[in-house]
Amino acid sequence: MAGEWDGTAWGNTTVDVSPAEVAAAPVRGCFPESGQSLIDIGEIPGLRVSGSHVLQPRDVQEIGAAPEHNEAVRAVRAVRAVRAVRAVLDSRGVAADVPVVISRVLRLDVEGDGVDEVLIEANNVPESVYETSTGHYSVLILRRVVDDEVVENVTLHADVADTETGGIYMLRFDLVDPADVNGDNVFELAAVWSYYEGGGVSLFSLDQVPEELLLAGCGL
């Protein structure tokens, strides 16, 4: 058995390939590139991982979707997320009048230490990524507490359309719910990415020095 992300949730599935080939990024209309293992699991991008461990050992919560906090608390958290994204956009020369469009915010305890982290997805770009223009962007941020007191915003991905000509080559990243991919009780993050003639899946570590661990996809 293996874990499978079907585009909406993690579940179990039977995989008829060897464990070494299980990690994969199937993408509609694509073909395997050199050194990559693509597995067809339907018409949506997804991810499969081998192992018998629990893929989500702790809850992952959509901030704002659950009524566990009042409106004032949710408003404060929204402002913090907007400020984090705005700082990234400013650093990349995006005009101040371009709105911050936050498409998803997740709260989770990455390491199981009792302290929650926050993942912020901001996508101001068409899903097709065929019509990007000045002011379009795609940003992923990990917001966490360091040394029990300092809040740090770590940019996992940031791409903006060229400020003068737009940019068909920019990458749009969409979060997949985090999962413990390797069974060490620490969450990793999968994100589906796409550009105007290709796409795939990236897997990020979320530990002290977040990094892109795996990449699979195809395109021109």
- Residues 65-101: b if buried by 16+ CB within 10 A, e if exposed: eeeeeeeeebeebeebbbebbbebbeeeebeeeeebe
pTM over 0.85: no
Structural domain boundaries of the chain? 56-219
CA-wise closest residue to 181 among 76, 85, 123, 110:
110
Q: Which residue has the higher pLDDT, 74 or 104?
A: 104
CA-wise closest residue to 198 among 175, 160, 171:
171
Is residue 74 helix, strand or coil?
helix
For the cut 90, the answer to whether the pLDDT of residue 136 exceeds it is no
CA-wise closest residue to 158 among 144, 175, 173, 176:
173
pLDDT tens across 20-63, in order?
Answer: 433 444 444 454 444 444 444 444 445 666 677 888 889 988 88
Please report the pLDDT score of residue 106 as a whole number. 92
Please report the pLDDT score of residue 112 as a whole number. 92
